[in-house]
Structure 1
């Protein structure tokens, strides 16, 4: 029996479109995803990115909840370095108060919090060549260090935190979030505070991660479900999965590890059509990897006009090689390989196409094939 399929949506802008258009497409896709039978619908959090409109997950999830009936909704992921635990709990507590029992609170570290981890990882990194593990491509790793060290990243970060503020570490944030969800929180003198809404909210808390670092280990140690990003950092997927499983301690909510793995996917009626529709993906990834933030997703003609250098191709090689683009049968087979090798309990699909109809069709074709 196939594991469930879910969706991660960035609300991508396309060339010639604007943020309003991207967000309306998200609402339409969410309605269709529910009809197609997808298990969850998650939205991302990205800031200062010209081609992505999903910057405020809680706000967007409220809009999606209003136009859907039962599909589970969540964040992939709220960036904990940019908000307090209280603001996160109140936002998702409000959602749960209005639409009870439908929300996943997916949490991740902010870019600022990852900077030091990226630097340390680069210092201790061992050379890794591309390899195939039981049919799954594990490419050479990409280093985010230059992007995190860029002036643009520093400028963006200055707008996302209060002057002088120091984000809490992941474990401290989790401690505060779980305390507020359990509420009330009291000090030694008996003073109490209660998150309203938020205390008692029926939320499923997840951690998301792209390596075998702190997020994977913390998710395991706390008995939380974990979402590992093959689509962001395919070179690190096996490391992330192993770190989560090795550190896992059973909890009341999760007596065994609960793992979701993401993948870039584009499905069309046949392999040739899918590959043609996927051509702009490389240009879009290039804009991310050069530190500009994702540009609006190009058309096929715009992608064809892009001038590639060897360096540019190297920047995107891992993401392009691990995008599953093809017919329903081709992509389903690739996803089953990903699921088998990682042992995922669920797969999280992210699909971008310039034409909204092509994007909807991709999700529809995959859902039909997966359930066949």
Structure 2
């Protein structure tokens, strides 16, 4: 039975990073900032540091996700480092098994493998990545193949294709989702489930219910484990946090307009940039976003926790200024103690 009285100080918090590229910045700058944030996150007590796979997006530098993961793991010492996620249909399962087997061999006990079935990009780029598009229809089969490389059954010791390194390393596999499909699959397979409430808020509660109701115990988990992704932007005042959040709003506005640009600086008034229809669409997609002072963030986070009964919250803060981004995560860490 889930605890209806979960409190912020009783669950872990983690970080989701896209290694954002800002106007006037370079991917090299982004990777330096990623390592700096990861070191601070480790010091502040965050549980995991995950990086996301996206392609052909001028504001995201983490396209080669496993490579960036290795860089982060090499520059930290205790925090878990993972993918949030690897878009499995873009890759051969054997390649992912080998890459993550290599990471786990280099950084034992610190690597998470989060998997998604979306392309993480537009269809033209997906075709360049995959060549043969199947819209994630064979994701369950790909997942099964990947897991067979990581955890081969005793009767398959003589299988002709093996992941070396990779097999028998006990790398935690997570399923990521923004709708019902992965919720069903994660529950059926007894895997931990991470839901993308940061851009799909309306599906959060239904997907979590599906996952929990369909959950079957497995070698990985005895009971359901839910992590929810959430945009949280904290600052010393509500006004400053709302201003910082306009960078995130501009990001989603530009995506809706199919305008590909680096991350934009905050503005004083979004009404100068969007029309009423665009405002409604962006605010709906970012409906779970929390932006505010420490008191505001604490209050809204506790409400969110009560609604979702999440076992862990993974926070993304798309903030233009790196120091303000650090401060946002520092405030959250203080709230989460």
TM-score computed with the length of structure 2 as normaliser: 0.91
CA distance in 1, matches of 2:47, 2:226: 14
Conservation of the 8 A alpha-carbon contact between 1:44 and 1:57? yes
Counterpart of 2:302 (choices 314, 318, 336) is 336
Checking the alignment, whether the CA contact within 8 Å between 1:185 and 1:194 is kept in structure 2 is no
Distance change in 2, residues 1:338/1:266 (3 Å):
same
Q: Which of 286, 289, 292 is the aligned partner of 1:326?
A: 292
Give the equivalent residue in structure 2 for 1:243.
Answer: 210
**What value does the CA root-mean-square deviation take over the aligned residues?**
2.3
2:263 to 285, 297, 301: 297
Shift, 1:354, TM fit? 1.1
Q: How big is the shift at 1:171?
A: 1.4
**2:4 — aligned with what?**
none
Structure 2 unaligned segments of length 5 or more: list them. Answer: 1-8
Deviations 1:150-182 (A, max 9, x none): xxx332122111358886612111211111012
CA distance in 2, matches of 1:86, 1:336: 41
Superposition deviation, residue 301 in structure 1: 4.3
> Cα offset for 1:17?
0.9
Give 4+ residue runs of structure 1 displaced > 4 Å after superposition: 163-168, 184-188, 301-306
State how far apart, in whole Å, the 2-side matches of 1:185 and 1:36 are: 42
Question: 2:163: which partner in 1?
Answer: 195
Aligned mates of 1:327, 1:3 — CA distance in 2: 21
User: Quick one: which of 138, 141, 150 aligns to 1:181?
Assistant: 150
Question: Which stretch has the larger CA shift, 17-26 or 214-223?
Answer: 17-26
Q: Which residue of 2 aligns with 1:232?
A: 199
Match in the other structure for 2:93 = 85
Q: Please give the alpha-carbon distance, in whole angstroms, between the structure 2 residues aligned to 1:263 and 1:340.
A: 14
Pair 1:16–1:254, CA change in 2 (3 A): same
1:319 Cα shift?
3.5
Worse-matched range after superposition: 58-67 or 103-112: 103-112
Q: CA deviation at 1:185?
A: 9.1
Partner of 2:27: 19
Find 1:70's aligned residue among 45, 64, 78: 78
Residues 262-293 of structure 1: CA deviation (Å, up to 9, x unaligned): 11010011212211222222111111223345
1:172 counterpart (141, 165, 172): 141
In structure 2, what is the equivalent of residue 135 of structure 1?
A: none
In structure 1, the partner of 2:327 is 361
- C-alpha distance in 1 between matches for 2:15 and 2:33: 14
Contact conserved, 1:184 with 1:194, CA < 8 A, in 2?
no
Provide the secondary structure at the position in 2 that maps to 1:192.
coil
For the 8 Å contact 1:216–1:244, the answer to whether it is kept is: yes
Matched residue SS, 1:348: strand
* C-alpha distance in 1 between matches for 2:266 and 2:150: 47
The 2-side partners of 1:251 and 1:187 are apart by 20
* Structure 2 residue matching 1:35: 3-state secondary structure: helix
Partner of 2:129: 160
Q: Is 1:315 paired with 2:287? A: no
The CA distance in 2 between the partners of 1:335 and 1:196, in whole Å, is: 42
Distance 2:174 2:306 in 1: 22
For structure 1, which runs of at least 5 residues remain unmatched after alignment? 113-147
Residue by residue over 1:225-255, the C-alpha shift from the partner in whole angstroms, topping out at 9 and shown as x without a partner, is 0001110100110111011111100112211
Cα distance change of structure 1 residues 18 and 368 upon mapping to structure 2, 3 Å threshold: same
After TM superposition, the structure 1 stretch with the greater mean CA deviation from structure 2, 155-164 or 86-95, is 155-164
CA contact (8 A) 1:105 1:206 kept: yes
> What is the alpha-carbon distance in structure 2 between the residues aligned to residue 333 and residue 80 of structure 1?
37
Q: Deviations over 1:91-134 (max 9, x none)?
A: 0000001111111100000239xxxxxxxxxxxxxxxxxxxxxx
How many residues align? The count is 329
| Partner of residue 311 from structure 2, selected from 325, 341, 345 | 345
